[in-house]
Chain A
């Protein structure tokens, strides 16, 4: 299995692409956040693959677990914001949030 590291990295790149595509094209607030979840999967796959390459699975697992904890925190805050937006506008369309022009 050691020689198949490029396979994992390739799929991580594909997942990254899928996640970024979702962020660029979707309009539902929750769907946009699913895009970020997919990017997180790509990141965890990349972290474990790097552990495979260096033959240091213990350190790679520690990093992955820490990252998953951070991700949970971020998901909680993001979903709280989404619920609050829904309470204000009654819809989940990101095109409703165009008051600020950036």
Chain B
């Protein structure tokens, strides 16, 4: 029974304006966060159920009549659902306090719910066109959310983001049209079967190229990364956390991995392209991040770099590489969400995002400083936090596949990553307290609570990484490395 993942957010979003008329703040806050909590618990139940029955297609039955809504759930989808609900819950809790001075909370929560519904639909789709459709649902909601503050910066960022995102969606759809004309169907299994039987290498290569263009733009691979350093800093902090932590991974990395592994089948040329794209993003993102003065811009470039890591691991194609890539996807979602939320706390307290103007904030905001330290060290890959293990697995996988050059670059870039994150810590939190910030207070309750939750998860996943890998990351990696899938067994209810 996995339809509630899409139905609950959509239905709640549709009645949100009505609720907003009665109660401007309390009811939208409470209902939305309860819905997110429900999604999180339900995703845990689904994962438990999945390990019992194995991957299946769920067909919706309405009043004893079969409604042709087929959703597939396997290890990879369940893993993504869990990640999405976790980061969304924390961003939702953060928004309770943070969105006070933006106003129109009901509208904001409605858009947030639609974005979550779109992302959930994307990971549950069994059909190429549905992947495109839910991608657009999440994207249109995110255009509105990035421009939510209505300042000129936000509008400019949203406009550029919209243009580039529309072009990428166009390329994806053209590729889907060509695949439809080649194989006659849009279902993952049937397309896979059709592509195997076909002999037109140029047409299939063209489709693969357009997919890399389209999804690469969505996941901000270099050289298609130009929209991200503008869009993510300008959005409100919880939306930056959602975009950087979830949207570029769900509509970019997940769709890319699903289509290239389960439909096309990974061949050496494709693997090389993905690995080179990953390693170039890795280096470029890290190097440019060093020279930034705005804290959110530095975090945005770091996102580009870490997504390069994930694509490097997944593009390698070996089971260990895929495992490392997916684990890093989870860790980065948690840690980057945490860091963006904290930058929102800083912006709320001091009103600035510029690292030059901050200084010594740790004395007045100890909780924020501590959680930022945890998140930074996790991404930079310091043991025993979670990020260390995922980076280690990727590097070991590279060594095992004899890609020594890539491994060396990955290790060196990790050091650069650690360097600029420590820069943030030193410039913003440690050192002498800047006189202007003498009277600031620690972040309000919900904002601190959500970041503390994410920080604790970073530590817990780092310590118990064996259990984490075995219970939910390994099934996801297995689902991907199973290669081309021709169909799942049907389960109706």
Contact = CB atoms under 8 A, between A and B. Distances in A.
Interface of A: 12, 16, 20, 23, 29, 32-33, 36, 39-40, 42-43, 46-47, 49-51, 53-54, 56, 60, 63, 66-67, 70, 73-74, 77-78, 81-82, 84-85, 88-89, 97, 99-102
Interface in B187-201: none
A24 B174 CA distance: 20
B162 A78 contact: yes
A77 B140 contact: yes
A40 B173 CA distance: 10
B247 to A, nearest CB: 16
Contact of B147 (A60, A81, A101): A81
B159 A85 contact: yes
B225 to A, nearest CB: 9
Closest 7 CB pairs of A and B: A50-B181, A100-B230, A97-B156, A46-B177, A53-B181, A102-B226, A54-B184
Contacts of B166: 36, 39, 74, 78
Contacts of A99: 152-153, 156
A78 B146 CA distance: 12
A39 B140 contact: no
Nearest to B157: A100
Nearest to A75: B166
B325 interface: no
B159 A29 contact: yes
A88 B159 CA distance: 14
A85 B156 contact: yes
A86 to B, nearest CB: 10
Given A39-B170, A84-B155, A85-B155, A74 B140 contact: yes
B177 A102 contact: no
A67 B155 CA distance: 25
B230 A70 contact: no
Given A46-B174, A81-B155, A88-B155, A54 B162 contact: no
A43 B230 contact: no
B163 A32 contact: yes
Nearest to B152: A88
B187 to A, nearest CB: 11
Contact of A67 (B153, B173, B229): B173
A77 B162 contact: yes
A36 B173 CA distance: 13
Given A47-B177, A51-B180, 11 more contacts: A36-B166, A46-B177, A50-B180, A66-B133, A74-B162, A74-B166, A77-B143, A78-B162, A81-B162, A84-B147, A102-B229
A57 to B, nearest CB: 12
A51 B166 CA distance: 23
Contacts of A50: 177-178, 180-181
Contact of B184 (A56, A82, A85): A56
Interface string B138-159: 0010011001001011011111
A77 B226 CA distance: 21
A36 B178 contact: no
Nearest to A70: B136
Interface of B: 129, 133, 136, 140, 143-144, 147, 150, 152-153, 155-160, 162-163, 166-167, 170, 173-174, 177-178, 180-181, 184, 226-227, 229-230, 234
A63 B129 contact: yes
A29 B162 CA distance: 12
Contacts of B174: 12, 16, 42-43, 46
Give the interface centre of A33, A46, A60 by most chain B CB atoms within 10 Å. A46
A51 B184 CA distance: 8
A91 to B, nearest CB: 12
A74 B41 CA distance: 33
Contacts of B181: 49-50, 53-54
Contacts of A56: 184
A43 B167 CA distance: 11
A54 B152 contact: no
A84 B150 contact: yes
B165 to A, nearest CB: 9
Nearest to A73: B140
A3 to B, nearest CB: 14
Contacts of B140: 70, 73-74, 77
A82 B159 CA distance: 8
A39 B171 CA distance: 9
A53 B144 CA distance: 38
Nearest to B165: A74
Contacts of A32: 163
B173 A100 contact: no
B200 to A, nearest CB: 12
A89 B159 CA distance: 14
Contacts of B162: 74, 77-78, 81
B125 to A, nearest CB: 13
B274 to A, nearest CB: 24
28 contacts: A12-B174, A29-B159, A32-B163, A39-B167, A40-B170, A42-B170, A42-B174, A43-B177, A46-B174, A49-B177, A49-B181, A50-B177, A54-B180, A63-B180, A66-B129, A70-B133, A73-B136, A74-B162, A78-B159, A78-B162, A81-B162, A84-B147, A97-B159, A100-B153, A100-B156, A100-B229, A101-B230, A102-B230
